[in-house]
Structure 1
Amino acid sequence: MMPDLLIELFSEEIPARMQAKATDDLRRLVTDGLAEAGLSYAHAGGFATPRRLTLVVEGLLKHSPAVREERKGPRTDAPDKAIEGFLRSAGVTQDQLQARDDKKGQVYYAVIERPGRPAAEIVAEVLENAVRNFPWPKSMRWGAGTLRWVRPLQSILCILHDEAGASVVPLDIDGIVAGDRTQGHRFLSRGEISVTSFEDYAAKLKRAFVVLDPAERADHIWNEATQMAFAQGLEVVEDRGLLAEVAGLVEWPVVLMGEIGADFMGLPPEVLQTSMKEHQKFFSVRNAKTGRIEKFVTVANNEPKDGGAAILAGNQKVLAARLSDAKFFWENDLRTIRDVGLDGMGAALKDVTFHRKLGSQADRIARIEALAREIAPLVGADADDAALSARVCKSDLSSEMVYEFPELQGIMGRYYAKSASLGDNIAAACEMHYKPLGPSDEVPTDPASVAVALADKIDTLTGFWAIDEKPTGSKDPYALRRAALGVIRLVLGNGVRVGTTALLRQHAKVHAWSDRGAMTDAIADLLSFFHDRLKVHLRDEGIRHDVIDACLAMPGADDLTLLVNRAKALAETLKTEDGANLLQGFKRANNILSQAEEKDGVEYSFGADAKFAEAEEEKALFAALDAADAKIAPAMASEDFAAAMQAMAALRQPIDAFFDAVQINAENEILRRNRLNLLSRIRTICLSVADLTRIEG
């Protein structure tokens, strides 16, 4: 039986946000080190609690295999310094070298034999290296030692276990000697725990009030919380990030539900939820019928004797103080809006710099307002509504609530717009104009929201292109890739028909350019940036980059909706047998035609005449091209790309038959020219749908 390895690094509390990565880092450092030393294993798994990192490695070899290596050295008559250097690099002495015949005389060979090493010896080296070089984001020293750890490291458990029992790996790191003992819960357990295997370790920890697996702790918290809420006709607001964090704060989770004071029920639910999450790490409990947050769930790291009454009393007292602050901010903001309006609240933004080269937030809002008015008719929005929405959409940035909780920007804008009686569509635009924030975020659909969201993102992009602050490599400090993807999703999600180049050029004029040529170049570069983002977006939908390139080469490529409709139709066509075979027929025709044009020094682009057709297949191709032309032209004019692609794909069979039956380069020069002009018709008709020369394969 191969031994299993159990490691535990026991310390003061590890921050919850660091635990998952630390678990992965420990597994990586140890298993990579074992593998480099020739010690293979079957499986490795890691765990973390606030006070420990644990690694179990199953099926470890008892010894690393012996290694025999032959290394070729210099010639036997080489200078002494060359031979001495070889001896040092190989780690051998002169009498261990072997002289062997080679093509150019005799050369030295070093035969290096390394015997296998016991697992315990290798584990000790690897673990010490892992501990001393652990990549904590922040670490500290303590006492008089030089060892660094995220918090003071108190003990190391390191044992190998097989059928004969467990043995401690001899290891001493700055006076911390490895053993077979650990500790249970800080408050609920007393004394050290001796363990003999991972199963014994996990079971004894559970009896000592420690749940080792963070996923098990999270599941327990969620199940307990949802059952408590359900019993009272309520529901817990799901928050996976908070759940993972809380699971990293406790070793023995005890779930308690508390009350929120009636004085705070008038606060927006998002305020209650954010305040409780940020300050107290509480889960919000919601009344599904009213949408109000009515209670909270907290998780203790102890078994309270009074059922949690004292803990909840303390939590509710601290929570009341926090929510009193939030209530004060809310009421002050509403008072400001009553006194000066939402415009007045936002007036302070003239003193807030957006970017030193792009002016204040107020300057930016003025640009967005003007652009939103221009975009409004393109998206079916009322121009005055779009302009008003843009003018007040960032006013909440001046509010006390958003100053305290920046993540509520937009959400508070909606509440403040409603309090100012500005109308539901304007209130919605205040919240939705930031969206979509990511590939899975919702896309605004209300016309005013769409107009302001587009204006906001286009102003950002044209502005940063104007000052040459474009993304480079993986660096994108102003989230410009996200802004471009947001424009793409807004346009496609709402079927907006707009020439992107004209829109970008029109808005770019508000920025100071060195000359008109610089602006033109920047707009072309920005449009290319949009196309790159579009390729990434469509790739996730299964559309290849070469299909998009084939459509980008066509007229109207800056109309993103038109472009994507064409690309989707082409992608679907190429998935069919006719479409795939037509592509090969087109490429064959194009290659023959291109070679003939280069050889003859002329362009075969007109003059194909059916009266010179000899074979039936040749006559049939003339008829098929006429029929396709009659369908494709009106279909393209009406943007019915599916019909155009279908008509093009129908050429597959007559083109294949033509190539099988007809010799293009006939001896009769009239026939040859006519057939080359016929190939030109194939090329022209296919290229009127998409640039098939850009399709790979």
Structure 2
Amino acid sequence: MPDLLIELFSEEIPARMQGKAREDLKKLITDGLVEAGLTYAGAHALSTPRRLTLAVEGLTAESKSVREERKGPATTAPEQAVQGFLRSTGLTMDQLEVRDAGKGQAYFAVIEKPGRKAADIVAEVLEGAIRTFPWPKSMRWGSGSLRWVRPLHSILCILSDEGGAEVVPLDVDGIASGNTTRGHRFLAPEAFSVTSFEDYAAKLKRAKVMLDPEERAEHIWHDATNAAFAAGLEVVEDKGLLTEVAGLVEWPVVLMGRIGEDFLGLPPEVLQASMKEHQKFFSCRNPKTGRIEGFITVANNEPADHGATILAGNQKVLSARLSDAKFFWENDLRTVAHTGLEGMAEGLANVTFHNKLGSQKDRIDRIEALAREIAPLVGAKPDLAAEAARVAKADLQSAMVGEFPELQGTMGVYYAKAAGLPDAVANACKEHYQPLGPSDAVPSDPVSVAVALADKVDTLTGFWAIDEKPTGSKDPFALRRAALGVIRLVLANKRRMALHDHFSEQLLRNDMAIATAQKRHHDEKAKKFKEETASGVTSFSLGVATVTRELDGRKVDARSPDLLAFFHDRLKVHLRDEGIRHDVIDACLAMPGNDDLTLLVKRAEALSAFLKTDDGGNLIQGFKRANNILSQAEEKDGVEYSFGADPKFAEDETERTLFAALDTAEAAIQPAMKAEDFGAAMSAMASLRAPIDAFFEAVQVNTDNEIVRRNRLNLLSRIRTICLSVADLTKLEG
């Protein structure tokens, strides 16, 4: 069984595209081979900046012959049907067979496909893959029609076994396949031939090419950490940058440089961002001071002067970059000293957040109002939360964030501390953006929590107010992420808050923002109209109509339940990852107070744990049996059996035992539910399992004695009422 080796050799492939390109090449080729009837033992794809490589082991030498029989139309069928069958099979009329087919005779086609050699199949599949390769961006060059990410120079394609290697012949726009490749562009540019993957990898290594991107990354990290350690520093870990740099070089050579004294006073994040963004440098930190004092650059060459010339050039460019950063930093500090951080934020009045929701300043005002309301619920001082909300986004107006947008929030912390603001306010400038994703840290400082919740709730209610909700896979305003952020903030900090109240308040504020934006637009049009016609215009009213609905004894905005349902969907995903079934969550969502996420999850966790016990599972079956019998009887009789169960009508000892058990359970469940001790409530409910089982084994509910039957149905109603007081068990599956 031969092995297949493919190399597509080109000009430099952008590092960000290499990972997906490897997977695409592997999938296109292996899927094509299998579809054509070949099998293989294994395949792996590799890449360097100038080549995509695929090695397929244990490929079958040829595809098997295939014989297929297909039944066609009856011999009496119209000519049109027969001709369609011929076209689908690729046969002629004289190649069809006539056979008995039950109720008459029909045409049959016998299609025989002979096996094909692997080389023919590989050539066909590879050419198709090259011509249809899904690059995010591609280009044409010369006079050909072929598109590739960068000009394609050569195609290496060989099949090798114990007898040797053979070139798989194919030609793509004048590029003929062969068995040769080239090494490093500068260190070993000469062409050489290969006979197998092992030969190919070994010769590339001698030609100064590390073929495996993971090997290059490990080599870079190893040498970088050693170089930094020797200088008394440590490399700041950045896996994304490491992957990118490994995709920029074929023969990585690590060089270490020092940052000029003039720039050591810059915040570490500024140095890191500048070096990473512009020059792909790794930052080196002094573990004693926490300052960034050095950098690691990776050359794609072996310089004769041990990198002195390269480092000199890099440091010259770096100094220019850091001079700009230093200017931005000092300019921002002067602004803060002159106007304060709130003064810096004033410019956000001229920055549009959304054309229907007003400016960033309008949004900050809404966040401030909500943060003040939320603060007592999360243990923060309202005035401190309001102050944090006013300055949390001030750094969006800074020169530094204008140059490095990824530093928003981070720079706000530095500017807030420079302005002499409390640490809680300063830290909220960064932490109010968190959590940014399912694995991001959740703030715990009360001020940060208050502003983070206000920020995310305002985002959600704002886009709900203008009907910009997520649809399918589309979520342009990251509302799913915002909802998950609220969920994690509330649950991680174990905070109690009724979301409907805050949704309603913020929806109203957003309605006012929409009306204000409309008035502003109207006034601008009116002014223009007045200037052009010198005539009066109709005034604009800011009246905002709010539709409310009754929910759990509260009046809430009519849009709030829809927004809460969106939260519940996100909560199901979140809790599913923690092992809580969706039907358990549904059973708890059906209860009052489902806009209190902490209470809701507490109930769901207790029910989930209860269902994992034998008593829990068996009790649910008993409840469902009782509920089914009762529901059928109520439907049949047209009455509701919801009261009047009396022990004096009990005929069997199991009935009297069940009456007593229900009294005991109810006496324990009611105070437990009032205290929100769901575990205790469900333990009390579990005590009903044995008496319910015994009751159903001993008595017939629908007895001929109408008084006894009605009493027993009312007894089942008590079982249903007590069990449903804990959670809506009818929602549970199985």
TM, length-normalised to structure 1 = 0.98
- How many angstroms does 1:371 deviate by? 1.0
1:657 to 2:694 alignment? yes
Return 345-354 or 611-620, whichever deviates more. Answer: 611-620
> 1:261 corresponds to which residue?
260
- Secondary structure of the 1:478 match is coil
1:586 to 2:632 alignment? no
> 2:527 corresponds to which residue?
none
Partner AA of 1:522 in structure 2: R
- How many angstroms does 1:377 deviate by? 1.1
1:243 to 2:238 alignment? no
> 2:409 corresponds to which residue?
410
* Contact 2:507–2:557 (Cα < 8 Å) also in 1: no
Q: Deviation per CA, 1:91-145: give whole Å up to 9, x if none.
A: 1122211111223422211111110000000000000000000000010111111
> 1:644 corresponds to which residue?
681
Partner AA of 2:511 in structure 1: A
> 2:215 corresponds to which residue?
216
Please, which of 596, 613, 628 is the counterpart of residue 559 of structure 1?
Answer: 596
> 1:193 corresponds to which residue?
192
- How many angstroms does 1:522 deviate by? 1.7
> 2:300 corresponds to which residue?
301
Partner AA of 1:637 in structure 2: K
> 1:496 corresponds to which residue?
495
- How many angstroms does 1:197 deviate by? 0.6
Partner AA of 1:580 in structure 2: G
Equivalent runs, 1:385-534 vs 2, <5 Å: 385-512=384-511, 515-517=545-547, 520-534=557-571
- Secondary structure of the 1:74 match is strand
> 1:548 corresponds to which residue?
585
> 1:30 corresponds to which residue?
29
Q: Deviation per CA, 1:555-583: give whole Å up to 9, x if none.
A: 11111111111111111111111111111
Equivalent runs, 1:78-477 vs 2, <5 Å: 78-477=77-476
Q: Deviation per CA, 1:528-548: give whole Å up to 9, x if none.
A: 111111111111111111111
- Secondary structure of the 1:294 match is strand
Partner AA of 1:429 in structure 2: A
> 1:57 corresponds to which residue?
56
1:46 to 2:28 alignment? no
Q: Hey, what's the Cα distance between the residues in 2 that align with 1:558 and 1:190?
A: 67
- How many angstroms does 1:512 deviate by? 2.5
1:603 to 2:679 alignment? no
> 2:725 corresponds to which residue?
688
1:535 to 2:572 alignment? yes
Q: Hey, what's the Cα distance between the residues in 2 that align with 1:288 and 1:643?
A: 51
Q: Hey, what's the Cα distance between the residues in 2 that align with 1:494 and 1:451?
A: 11
> 2:612 corresponds to which residue?
575
- How many angstroms does 1:162 deviate by? 0.9
Q: Hey, what's the Cα distance between the residues in 2 that align with 1:25 and 1:307?
A: 38
Q: Hey, what's the Cα distance between the residues in 2 that align with 1:653 and 1:592?
A: 19
Q: Hey, what's the Cα distance between the residues in 1 that align with 2:300 and 2:609?
A: 57
Partner AA of 1:533 in structure 2: R
Q: Hey, what's the Cα distance between the residues in 2 that align with 1:199 and 1:264?
A: 49
Root mean square deviation of aligned Cα: 1.3
- Secondary structure of the 2:435 match is coil
1:76 to 2:75 alignment? yes
Q: Hey, what's the Cα distance between the residues in 2 that align with 1:530 and 1:77?
A: 63
- How many angstroms does 1:662 deviate by? 1.9
- How many angstroms does 1:309 deviate by? 1.4
Q: Hey, what's the Cα distance between the residues in 2 that align with 1:239 and 1:427?
A: 26
Partner AA of 1:545 in structure 2: H
Q: How many residues align?
A: 696
Q: Hey, what's the Cα distance between the residues in 2 that align with 1:76 and 1:659?
A: 66
- How many angstroms does 1:331 deviate by? 0.3
- Secondary structure of the 2:559 match is helix
Q: Hey, what's the Cα distance between the residues in 1 that align with 2:104 and 2:637?
A: 62
- How many angstroms does 1:461 deviate by? 0.7
Q: Hey, what's the Cα distance between the residues in 2 that align with 1:394 and 1:242?
A: 28
Q: Hey, what's the Cα distance between the residues in 1 that align with 2:595 and 2:103?
A: 67
Q: Deviation per CA, 1:335-362: give whole Å up to 9, x if none.
A: 1111111111111111100000000001
Q: Deviation per CA, 1:420-442: give whole Å up to 9, x if none.
A: 00110000111111111111111
Q: Percent identity?
A: 74
TM, length-normalised to structure 2 = 0.93
Runs of 4+ in 1 over 4 A off after TM superposition: none
- How many angstroms does 1:515 deviate by? 3.7
- How many angstroms does 1:230 deviate by? 2.4
- Secondary structure of the 2:510 match is coil
Q: Deviation per CA, 1:631-674: give whole Å up to 9, x if none.
A: 11111101111111111122112211221122212222222122
Partner AA of 1:103 in structure 2: G
- How many angstroms does 1:231 deviate by? 2.8
Q: Hey, what's the Cα distance between the residues in 1 that align with 2:671 and 2:318?
A: 68
Q: Hey, what's the Cα distance between the residues in 1 that align with 2:241 and 2:439?
A: 20
1:629 to 2:666 alignment? yes
- Secondary structure of the 1:340 match is helix
- Secondary structure of the 1:182 match is strand
- How many angstroms does 1:365 deviate by? 0.6
